[in-house]
Amino acid sequence: METTTTPFINHFRKSITPDALRTYIAEYISTFLYVFSAVGATMSSSYLMPYSTASDPSSLVIIAVANAFGLMFAVYIAANISGGHVNPAVTFGMVVGGHITVPTAIFYWFSQLLGSTMACLVLKYTTVQQVIPTHAIAVEMTGFGAAVIESVLTFGLVYTVYTAGDSRKSSLGAIGPIAIGFVVGANVLAAGPFSGASMNPACSFGSAVVSGNFKNHGVYWVGPLIGALVAGILYENVVFPPRALDSLPGTINQVGV
């Protein structure tokens, strides 16, 4: 008797191959390095300026620069292996656009969350008596307002990821990770004092687990996932749907690698 398998089973089998395993390792390494840089820079800023407040502009700039540079190299080193998501919200946006399957996304999420948690653990136990910082909402803000801000910030991030990685246009090469890093740095400068400008549920999760502080943690999942959902739908179905390349002025029928 001929047996049939569901599409989910087929996708799951493809997600546990040796090639798929390499992508999960790449996501783990990149997320570890990014979170180590981002969270470590926040800790360094607090250590060097112990009397500064959360509204100190110099601390904000340090954190923004570390996020931008850290994400640039994290995306670059994994781009040709796993796509360089380094973020569950980006992975979710890729699922929405049909670029990866749900089983693969689940393994991506696990790798990203584990990488973030391990990075925070290393920071905690190698920097004696230093507190692992978590993303926090300004006292004047509500959870809803912070979630809206995180949604808008993540929309910008995921939309940039789509644009930078779209092979239907000319290849952006190393410029893609630079653009992605810059949008994160700009977002931190714009909204860091208000919502924390996480845009990355994995980064928020790792620091929350290690610090034991889950206050308003749901904001850093709901907001980014909604922003990623909107970005994926809008880019793939409205702004640049399939077969839209030839109809755009100033484009040529060329596929980048």
Summarize pLDDT for 125-145 with one digit per residue, the tens.
Answer: 999 778 999 999 999 999 999
Q: Tens digit of pLDDT for each residue in 23-41? A: 999 999 999 999 999 999 9
Residue 255 lies in a domain: no
How far is it, in rounded angstroms, from Cα 34 to Cα 71? Answer: 6
Looking at residue 220, its amino acid is: Y
Residue 107 lies in a domain: yes
Q: What is the CATH number of the domain that holds 95?
A: 1.20.1080.10
**Rounded to two decimals, what is the model's pTM?**
0.89
How far is it, in rounded angstroms, from Cα 171 to Cα 164? Answer: 8
* Structure confidence at residue 153 as a pLDDT band (50, 70, 90): very high
Contact at 8 Å (CB) between 112 and 94?
no
CA angle 216-123-228, nearest 5°?
40
Residue 234 lies in a domain: yes
How far is it, in rounded angstroms, from Cα 171 to Cα 252? Answer: 13
Q: Tens digit of pLDDT for each residue in 64-92? A: 999 999 999 999 999 999 999 999 999 99
Residue 3 lies in a domain: no
Residue 253 lies in a domain: no
Domain containing 178 equals 11-239
What residues have CB less than 8 Å from 238, skipping those under 6 apart?
Answer: none
Residue 162 lies in a domain: yes
| Total domain count, the chain | 1
Residue 224 lies in a domain: yes
- Cα–Cα distances (Å) from 244 to 47, 78, 166, 234, in that order, read 51, 28, 12, 13
Residue 256 lies in a domain: no
How far is it, in rounded angstroms, from Cα 230 to Cα 67? Answer: 23
